A = this chain, B = another copy of it.
Amino acid sequence: MQILLAPENQIQETKPAREHIYEYLRKAILNGDFVAGTLFSDGEVAKAFKVSRTPVREAVQKLEAEGFVIRIPQKGNIVQGLSLIEVAHIYSIRKVLEALAIRYSIRKITPEELEQLKHILQKADWHIGHDTMDELPLNLGKCAIEFNTVLFESCRVPKLADLIWQQREILGPFRIFQPLINEQLGGRFKTRHRLYEALVKKDEKEAVKVWEEHLNSSFRFWVKKRGEGEQKDLFYEFI
């Protein structure tokens, strides 16, 4: 795989090598540096990282378990891509999981967490008012992640939060976020404001509805961005 450049970030930390490798490969896939369909072997990676093949194999096994990579017996590892249909499926799964999380949050969120959410929203508003067009997407992205982190923690169901992040990460946080922000700017945070209000009022129906709409529009954006005329088939795939 000529794609993989030797990583300068060979920061010798205390973390096990397989974790470095795992994170490096995962990021590369999510960023799209590592194009879907690319074939690579453990040996190549081992050489690039100057380690033996064992830690690489372990890293790749983890990636395989999470669906980022497919290991084909005597061929090598293939970077997994996502068809639009699979994206639709993931969004459908996210809708039910995140709706469940919100229903838990309504019951369990603490006043402190509500305060934190409010604070993050204020920060986002400040950025919208003061940032240059260059900085804004990045900062707003950070705020969104902070908001979601607090939100999904507040449900107090760790396993559910894990599942949600797992699904979210498959979609790749970076690939889509920049242009999404540019296009929909404030909209993203208006829905978060509405969600916040619903959480304060403990209005479960409204909270779930807001968030589902949020995800619907997020998915519509995906379709628009890389729909290859196949939108019609998606009717049965996104529910």
Contact = CB atoms under 8 A, between A and B. Distances in A.
Interface of A: 54, 57-58, 61-62, 65-67, 86, 89-90, 92-93, 96-97, 99-100, 103-104, 107-108, 157, 159-160, 163, 236, 239
A62 B205 CA distance: 38
A236 B65 contact: no
B163 A107 contact: no
B89 A93 contact: no
Given A96-B99, A103-B239, A159 B90 contact: yes
Contacts of A97: 93, 96-97
Contact of A89 (B61, B65, B90, B157): B157
B239 A86 contact: no
A51 to B, nearest CB: 14
Given A54-B54, A236-B107, A236-B108, A93 B160 contact: yes
A97 B90 CA distance: 12
A contact face: mostly helix, strand, loop, or mixed? helix
A72 to B, nearest CB: 15
Nearest to A62: B65
How many chain copies?
2
A233 B192 CA distance: 30
Contact of A159 (B57, B89, B103): B89
A93 B62 contact: no
A61 B58 CA distance: 9
Given A65-B65, A236-B107, A92 B100 contact: yes
A86 B236 contact: no
Contacts of A103: 239
B236 A89 contact: no
Given A65-B65, A93-B157, A97-B97, 18 more contacts: A54-B54, A58-B61, A86-B159, A89-B157, A89-B160, A92-B104, A92-B160, A93-B97, A93-B100, A93-B159, A93-B160, A93-B163, A96-B97, A96-B99, A107-B236, A107-B239, A108-B236, A163-B163
A86 B65 CA distance: 23
A12 to B, nearest CB: 19
